[in-house]
Amino acid sequence: MLKLAWKGVLAHKLRLGLTAIAIVLGVAFVSGTFVFTDTLDRAFSGLFDEINSSVDLYVRGETEFTGQVVPIPADVLDDVKAVPGIGNAVGTVQGFAQFIDNDGEPVGGQAPTFGFSWVPGAEDLTPVTIKEGRPPENAGEVMVDAGTAATAGFSIGQTVKVILVSGTEEFEIVGLAGFGDEDNILGASIAIFDEPTAFRVFDAPNEYASVSAVGDGSVALETLVDRVNDVLPEGFEAVTAEVQSEDDQADFQEAIGFLSTALLVFAGIAVLVGSFIIYNTFSIIIAQRMKEMALLRAIGATSRQVTRMVVIEALVVGFIASAVGVLGGIGLTILIRAAFDATGVSFPQGPLTIRPNTVIIGMTVGMAVTLFSAVIPARQASRIPPVAAISEATVGGPKSLRNRAIAASALTALGVLILFVGLFTSTDNPLPLVGLGAVVLFFGVAGLSPLIARRSARIIGAPLPMVFGVTGTLARENSVRRPRRTAATASALMIGVAVVSMVAILASSLKQSITEQITQNFGTVDFQIQASAFADPSQVGVSPAASERISQLPEVAVVSPMRFGFWKNENGSERQLISVDPATLDAVFVADVQTGSVAGLADGGVLLQFDTAADLGVTAGDTITMEFPLTGVEQVEVDGTFFGEGLSAFLIGNEFFAERFSNKLDFMVFVNLADGVDPDVGRGAVEAILTDYPNVELSNQAEFIESQKSQIDILLVVINALLLLAIIIALLGIANTLALSIFERKRELGLLRAVGMTRRQVRRMIRWEAVITALYGALLGLVLGIALGWAMVKALESEGLTFGFPYQLLTQYVIAAAIGGVVASIWPSFRGARTNVLEAISYE
Amino acid sequence: MTASTEFASATRVAARVENAEKTYGTGDAAVHALAGLSVEFERGRFTAIMGPSGSGKSTLLHCVAGLDELTRGSVYIGDIELGSLNDRQLTLLRREKVGFIFQAFNLIPTLSAAENITLPLDIAGDDPDEAWYQQVVETVGLADRLSHRPTELSGGQQQRVAAARALVSRPEIIFADEPSGNLDSTSAGELLGFMEQAVKDLGQTIVMVTHDPAAASYADRIVFLADGKVVGELHDPTQETVLDKMKELGG
């Protein structure tokens, strides 16, 4: 049987080859994700180790908050230095710094832009090496990393503008820095100042972001750490460099974990789509080999042996394809790395990391999916009676459609149920349930699909006979000849289109909600200023110096800055808050206060959105427990509640915020012009100041809405690019099914050619058959996608999401699917048109 | 071989073959399916081609019908020499000037009987001549089965639909390859009777390959082949004369 199975694979190389592509692509996606993230992980691990290699221990804040650095008072450094056994210790001042290049454009932005201090005599405690020139010694001097100097065209001795918390200032470049052998870390741009300058420009007087130390070798490191811990004030701790490396690594893994989960979801969709293709191909091949199977049965093979033969065939194909897929994944990683390098975000170089797990998971996924998809066809094969070898009797024809309808309906209902449980009952992370529900729903609908395929395809293909005469009639009728086959082929595309349409609806709903929120709640704003980089809002933003200058303009009436941060609730989970200027908020944001007042925030406390307050069961006058980066756990009084949407569920005052967070930049600044000032004139005045701050952008309301929308569009493009693979696999499926069907219909094609059908007409006939199948899948997917999208928007209604219907985009998707069908038909139609008439009509 | 060849005139002859050679393979393995054969098929007559297996009768039919190419020699349908035509021209020629009835797989399963009959016209985008269509359908005796799919028709009915399809575009010539080969004797009789009638009453030209003397006896003329050559001819045959001739050639 093994031999037979192997021969079976060889005999159907081409057909199985196309199937294999579906597996190869899916597995490549899966293993590529692992190789990519593992390689990054390894590279960063090396980087962190290198950075920390010259240090024995670090002092840091005990609690960790996203985007927050707990400042260490300068006298802590003196205390640490005084600890017996410490050889040397240094405090590093750190903060936002962004260079302006010689053309007035900001340098970097996507990668981190920051600066830190240089302390003479602590060279052995820093990973920084001097590549050229000398370190900064005086105010007005800066050292830049050699990588940034090269890309921005900076040279030693030139004057350069740097955007800082203290404002945009000019410095002379005195040196170029490197990190070990590297010129640059991750494409970040780094400015290095002497310590007094750093304290001033980062607005961190006598505050260090980190303190690092080395021992003098007299005591064990553990003892040293204990001794340092004894002298530290509350809220700080000393850890070994090794622990710090591990924590850095853990943070990084958490960040990258999100990326790998997201990538794996898309890989999963591709694999799911692929499973339909594999199922279909095996079903068709078995139908075509019915006589062969029946012959085996006639000469004494048991039905189990026949099943086993098909299963072994599947495993052989699965094995080869998965192996190729794993290799493909490695190739994919090389490509991705090259792509990132091209965009300027460079990853630390280093060998590709291919863990055994990557290979095991890739192979397992590929083979399991192939096997799973081939099981039903294998069982069909085993049911072929020996008599089929000698008769023309068809086997495996329409079985009970009723049973199928019942099972598929049940599955569909179950999918919907799981989906709704996931969406509408409050769980912490509804995504796994929603995903499971969607997958079950897909299988359910795929099961129901053959029942409606014939009728639907006839309706879709209705115009064809009118346009193309009998060629059209034949195309339409061919597409519904094997409803199961058509349905399985279309199901693959259905899944792809469903996800794409759902995403489109979510994006459109998001855009609509943003537009509504901005017009409703920020209707009184003239301009807003925000960092143009798409980065952590607590790390980039508007220098307070810029806001200060703008507020002094005679044309400007109101400048209302906001900051953004995370606090932790009693369970330790992070939640967002926004800090506002209590005096001016009313001028720029319709808070629609229910109880209390915005002005009250000046005295501390928090304003809650009404439904959040209801969820927490608090009203004005109650307190809630909030943990902040700088002050730890506090009982914060609820000042009141409000209805306004678009900022955050938690609002606090700017002064209250400044005492509790280390942010130095404004996340967003709203500007209103004085009465009677022409908007263009006012804008000109503000923008004149902002020429010193090219890292931020000024926009009026319409521009702001557009920029928000375009951010969603970028996300949409990225998601669609990731889903493209699933769509390609689905189209390959159409090509494959079509090629197999053409092979079956060789005689018919020969007859058509004999009675006068031209090759072009044959191609047209096959092309339109593909288009009908593609459209059927796309339309089913569209219906499902709209339903899924609608359900998700409904579930998120309380978050202020309103349903938006991107009919234009969805129409484009359907047209694209039809074009995809045409592309998928190129090869099968070419083959069909080349059918040898004589061979086709000769009687065996 | 026969005197008629020399007096052939273009108007009288629907198709002719001159010095046809068809070789499969090369060198020692070469098989000469047609070995310098010449024959012509007169307009308005029902010609049968007979011969043992391997005599080249199917090859001849395929080559005359423009489904296959000769190694040497020439084929004319009317005045058109097929060797000079490309695939598209050949296809159009088949569509306009040739009709086919095969032994099996004559019909497209997804089309109704009526659609199968008008298939060549539909492919060409031509409208059928309604009166002619009605006449063909009535002659074939399928008027009440027109909306049926091929699978709902008997074997004899299917072959008659094929015959009607061959007739409906009024081709110069109809080629039939063992059209009654899969039929019982009653159905075969009906089909062949209809073909005979198409020649007599409607003026069609039919060339039929068969190995069945009974089928051949419906023809006006029988051409006997052996080893890729014409070895004999019979006019206005009966079953007995056919059998006699076969014995004569075989012995």
pLDDT, tens digit (0-9, with 9 covering 90-100), for A661-709: 988 899 899 999 999 899 999 999 999 999 999 999 999 989 989 988 9
Q: Among partner residues B68, B91, B110, which is closest to A478 by beta-carbon distance? A: B110
Amino acid at A480: V
Contact A758 B88 (CB under 8 A): yes
Annotate A413-472 with DSSP letters as a single string. Answer: HHHHHHHHHHHHS--S--HHHHHHHHHHHHHHHHHHHHHHHHHHHHHHTTHHHHHHTHHH
Looking at residue A693, what is its pLDDT? Answer: 93
Average of per-residue pLDDT values in chain A? 87
| Mean pLDDT to the nearest integer, A596-621 | 89
B67 neighbourhood in chain A, CB within 8 Å: 754, 837-838, 841
Give which of A128, A50, A122, A48 is closest to A86, Cα–Cα.
Answer: A122
* Tokens of residue A230, six digits: 């004894």
Phi-psi region of A309 (alpha: psi -120 to 50; beta: other; left: phi over 0): alpha
> How many other C-beta atoms lie within 10 A of the C-beta of residue A792?
23
Are A245 and A60 in contact by the 8 Å Cβ rule? The answer is: no
Q: Which residue of B has its CA nearest to A748?
A: B108
| Mean pLDDT of all residues in A546-555 | 93
State the Cα–Cα distance between residues A525 and A703, nearest whole angstrom.
12
Chain B residues with CB within 8 Å of chain A CB: 62, 65, 67-68, 87-88, 91-92, 94-96, 99-100, 102-111, 115, 118-120, 122-125, 165, 178, 181
Please give the average pLDDT of every successive group of 10 residues along chain B, which has 251 residues. 40 87 82 88 93 87 88 90 88 88 84 90 85 85 87 88 89 90 87 89 90 91 91 90 86 53
Which residue in A466, A470, A741, A842 has the most chain B C-beta atoms within 10 A of its own C-beta, making it the best mutation to test that interface?
A470
In whole angstroms, what is the distance from residue A823 CA to residue A773 CA? 13
Per-residue model confidence as pLDDT tens digits over A44-83:
887 778 777 888 899 988 877 877 888 899 999 999 999 9
> How many angstroms away from the CA of A758 is the closest CA of chain B?
6
Contacts of A473 in chain B (CB under 8 A): 110-111, 115, 122
**Sign of torsion over alpha carbons A3, A4, A6, A10:** positive
Taking CA–CA distances from A477, the nearest residue in chain B reads B110
**Which of A393, A375, A381, A397 shows the shortest CA–CA distance to A292?**
A381
Per-residue model confidence (pLDDT) at position A361: 92
Partner-chain residue, chosen from A470, A477, A747, that has the shortest CB–CB distance to B123? A470
Binary contact (B92, A756; C-beta < 8 A): yes
Q: What pLDDT shows up at residue B8?
A: 41
- Residue A47, CA distances (Å) to A39, A52, A186, A238, A314 in order: 12, 9, 10, 21, 44
DSSP state at residue A601: G
pLDDT higher than 60, residue A34: yes
**Residue B226, Cα to own-chain centre: how many angstroms?**
19
Q: Are A179 and A185 in contact (CB under 8 A)?
A: yes
User: Could you say which of A474, A477, A841 has the minimum Cβ distance to residue B102?
Assistant: A841
How far away is chain B from the Cα of A301, in angstroms, using its nearest Cα? 32
| Facing B108 at nearest CB: one of A752, A756, A758 | A752
Out of B94, B96, B109, closest to residue A754 by CB: B94
What's the mean pLDDT in A751-763? 90
Shortest distance between the Cα of B165 and any Cα of chain A, in A, equals 9
Residue B10's pLDDT is what?
45
Cβ–Cβ below 8 Å for A756 and B95 = yes
* Confidence category of residue A844, pLDDT binned at 50, 70, 90: very low
Contacts 24+ apart (CB under 8 A), A530-534: A530/A667, A530/A668, A530/A669, A530/A696, A530/A697, A530/A699, A531/A109, A531/A665, A531/A667, A531/A695, A531/A696, A531/A697, A532/A106, A532/A109, A532/A695, A532/A696, A532/A697, A533/A109, A533/A110, A533/A695, A534/A110, A534/A711
Cα nearest neighbour of A762 on chain B: B123
Calpha distance B220→B210 (Å, rounded): 14
Q: Is B142 helix (H, G, I), strand (E, B) or coil?
A: coil
Please list every residue in chain B whose beta carbon sits closer than 8 Å to the beta carbon of residue A469: 122-123, 125
Please, which residues bridge with residue A96 across strands?
Answer: A114
Task: Supply φ then ψ for residue B36, to 5 degrees.
Answer: 75, 55
For residue B68, the chain A residues in CB contact (below 8 A) are: 838
User: From B90, which residue of chain A is nearest by alpha-carbon distance?
Assistant: A756
pLDDT of A303-362, one tens digit each? Answer: 888 888 888 888 888 999 999 999 999 998 888 888 777 765 566 666 788 888 889 999
Given an 8 Å threshold on Cβ–Cβ distance, is A755 in contact with B103?
A: no
Tens digits of residue pLDDT in A79-106? 999 999 888 899 999 999 999 999 988 9
- A466, pLDDT greater than 90: no
Average pLDDT over residues A168-183: 89
Q: What pLDDT score does B4 carry?
A: 39
A506-A512-A517 Cα angle (round to 5)? 125
Name B101's bridge partners: B176
Q: A760 to chain B: nearest residue by CA?
A: B88
Between A127 and A164, the higher pLDDT residue: A164
Contacts of B99 in chain A (CB under 8 A): 755
Q: Are B168 and B120 in contact (CB under 8 A)?
A: yes
Q: Residue A23 corresponds to which tokens in the numbers above? A: 């597996």
What is the nearest CA distance from B103 to chain A, expressed in angstroms? 8
**Segment A480-530, tens digit of pLDDT:** 888 888 888 899 999 999 999 999 999 999 999 888 888 888 888 899 998
* Sequence-distant (≥ 6) Cβ neighbours of residue A43 within 8 angstroms: A347, A348, A349, A350
- Is B111 within 8 Å of A841 when comparing Cβ atoms? no
Backbone angles phi, psi at B10, to 5 degrees: -55, -35
Nearest to A96 by CA among A664, A780, A677, A718: A664
- Kindly identify which residue of chain A lies nearest to residue B118, measuring between CA atoms: A470
Query: Cα–Cα distance between A451 and A402 in angstroms, integer?
Result: 10
Beta carbons within 8 Å of B57's beta carbon, 6+ residues apart: B49, B50, B51, B209, B225
Task: Provide the pLDDT for residue A674.
Answer: 92
Q: How far apart are CA A187 and CA A110, in angstroms?
A: 9
B92 vs A contacts (CB less than 8 Å): 756, 758
Work out the minimum CA distance from B245 to partner chain A, whole angstroms. 27
pLDDT in tens, A213-262: 998 888 888 899 999 999 998 889 999 988 888 888 888 888 888 888 88
E strand or H helix that includes residue A183: none
Q: Is A754–B96 a contact, with Cβ atoms under 8 angstroms apart?
A: no
Residue A775 to residue A815: CA distance in whole angstroms: 8
User: Which residues of B fall within a CB distance of 8 Å from A755?
Assistant: 94-95, 99-100, 119-120, 123, 165
Q: Please tell me the distance in Å from B122's CA to the nearest CA on chain A.
A: 6
b/e map of A407-425 (b: 16 or more CB within 10 Å)? ebeebbebbbebbbebbee
Which residues in chain B have their CB less than 8 angstroms from residue A753's CB? 91
Chain B CB contacts of A761 below 8 Å: 123
What per-residue confidence (pLDDT) applies to A380?
A: 80
pLDDT at position A347, please?
63
Best residue in B88, B91, B98 for a mutation probing chain A (most A CBs within 10 Å)? B91
Within 8 A of B63 by CB-CB distance, chain A residues are: none
Determine contact, residues B62/A717, Cβ cutoff 8 Å. Answer: no
Among partner residues B62, B100, B104, which is closest to A755 by beta-carbon distance? B100
Q: CA of B68: which chain A residue's CA is closest?
A: A838
Pairing relation of β-strands B46-50 and B221-226?
A: parallel
pLDDT in tens, B126-142: 888 888 888 888 877 88
Give the pLDDT confidence of A37-50 residue by residue, as tens digits: 888 888 888 777 87
Cβ neighbours of A754 in B, within 8 Å? 65, 67, 94, 100, 102
